A = this chain, B = another copy of it.
């Protein structure tokens, strides 16, 4: 999700639209020009300036494309963008960018799900201290920790997949009535011009691999739903990163980030290895909720048939959220795939704290006057791991279902 990517997406939309107009018999065959390559990233600064003057980047882009394609095909120049409004092109292009972000994030979560499922299985016997409100509580296993992370990633990934599947093209024309398009269908002889207009809208969606929809210029749930899901992904990544950063503290020492060339060096302290992946993921997770809030504020303050500032407020927030989520997803994959688990340290800390960790057990047994069980040593933490194994199984089974569904 970058300025050049948005530009490419806008050009893809306008190209697809030319084809739709031609296929529908509205525009002449020679208008079906492929626009790709007509604008490049060197056009970005100029278009950005023009966007400020015009209020959105589409006006300048359409002018530029008309000039450039017009030398190849006058018809393409004439028909370009006809029937659309700026917001149609921009919303559909943003949706394409969002879909791309969602696909990249989902691919990363797929890898995370595999890695975490594996981790949770491998460490189902790795006893560690369970910590609540910062203090030692009862024993648990690192396998369950990984299973809980896994559940968080699955929750978010499922919602993102759902939001992605509901991304729709935007075709509404000036005020969401499809009037210009209906008029074009009428003058081209369509039997039912309004229906033909809706068909063209659906054809654009189909051509771009999106769902068709009634115009949603002022009903922004497709945007906020995807934004919410991206924030939820960052929440899940943030939990993992926060736990890794915390448990990687020297005093705890239970986890380390994967070592990698160039990662985590200090500008002054030669001995230091900083948990850079966790830090960067955490910083993205801290910033994300506000970006999601901006999308909702924009959605809530929308008025008229197309609004006067609310829509425009979406762009930078979506841009920042999309980039940030894609990057954090990739860093999180690197983190969980290469995570170093210091089992011995986990066990040592837990053993040293065994008395406190089993206090709840003693309290429970005294409630029912149960005698201390014979055989097992009184400080055997593995006797008080509850249903950790079943919970790991449940998370892994859910992961298997998920991986099967998406494959």
Q: How many copies does the complex hold?
A: 4
Contact flag A364-B235 (CB < 8 Å), given A276-B54, A286-B310 = no
* A44 within 8 Å of B (CB atoms): no
Q: Is the CB of A289 within 8 A of B294?
A: yes
Once bound together, how far apart are the Cα atoms of A177 and B394, in whole Å? Answer: 13
Nearest CB in chain B: distance from A3 CB, A: 12
* A22 within 8 Å of B (CB atoms): no
Further 7 A-B residue pairs, CB within 8 A, beyond A52-B327, A85-B268:
A131-B249, A133-B279, A151-B216, A152-B219, A177-B388, A177-B391, A235-B299
Q: Is the CB of A368 within 8 A of B187?
A: yes
Q: Is the CB of A303 within 8 A of B239?
A: yes
Q: Give chain B residues whose Cβ lies under 8 Å from the Cβ of A133.
A: 55, 274-276, 279, 304, 306-308
Q: Is the CB of A137 within 8 A of B269?
A: yes
Nearest CB in chain B: distance from A279 CB, A: 5
Contact flag A324-B316 (CB < 8 Å), given A151-B219, A386-B181 = yes
Q: Give chain B residues whose Cβ lies under 8 Å from the Cβ of A283.
A: 309-313
Nearest CB in chain B: distance from A375 CB, A: 14
* Of the residues B134, B221, B289, contact of A156 by C-beta under 8 Å: B221
At the interface with chain B, which of A95-103, A107-115, A190-198? A190-198
Once bound together, how far apart are the Cα atoms of A302 and B246, in whole Å? Answer: 11
Once bound together, how far apart are the Cα atoms of A345 and B234, in whole Å? Answer: 36
At the interface with chain B, which of A32-40, A223-231, A336-344, A399-407? A223-231
* Of the residues B58, B139, B148, B301, contact of A267 by C-beta under 8 Å: B58
CB pairs A–B below 8 angstroms (11 shown): A81-B267, A130-B176, A133-B274, A134-B248, A134-B274, A148-B217, A152-B218, A179-B385, A195-B387, A270-B363, A290-B290
Nearest CB in chain B: distance from A293 CB, A: 4
Q: Give chain B residues whose Cβ lies under 8 Å from the Cβ of A351.
A: none
User: Interface residue tally of chain A, by bracket?
Assistant: 35 or more
Q: Is the CB of B368 within 8 A of A308?
A: no
Q: Is the CB of B286 within 8 A of A298?
A: yes
Once bound together, how far apart are the Cα atoms of A307 and B300, in whole Å? Answer: 16
Q: Is the CB of A138 within 8 A of B219?
A: no
Q: Give chain B residues whose Cβ lies under 8 Å from the Cβ of A197.
A: 386-387
* A132 within 8 Å of B (CB atoms): yes
Contact flag A176-B144 (CB < 8 Å), given A81-B267, A279-B309 = yes
Q: Is the CB of B309 within 8 A of A250?
A: no
Nearest CB in chain B: distance from A389 CB, A: 7
* A236 within 8 Å of B (CB atoms): yes
* A204 within 8 Å of B (CB atoms): no
* A122 within 8 Å of B (CB atoms): no
Q: Is the CB of A175 within 8 A of B53?
A: no
Once bound together, how far apart are the Cα atoms of A183 and B139, in whole Å? Answer: 13
Once bound together, how far apart are the Cα atoms of A173 and B363, in whole Å? Answer: 14
* A209 within 8 Å of B (CB atoms): no
Once bound together, how far apart are the Cα atoms of A406 and B8, in whole Å? Answer: 42
Once bound together, how far apart are the Cα atoms of A236 and B219, in whole Å? Answer: 7
Mask, A305-342, CB within 8 Å of B = 1, is 11111111100110010001001000100000000000
* A367 within 8 Å of B (CB atoms): yes
Q: Is the CB of A267 within 8 A of B59?
A: yes
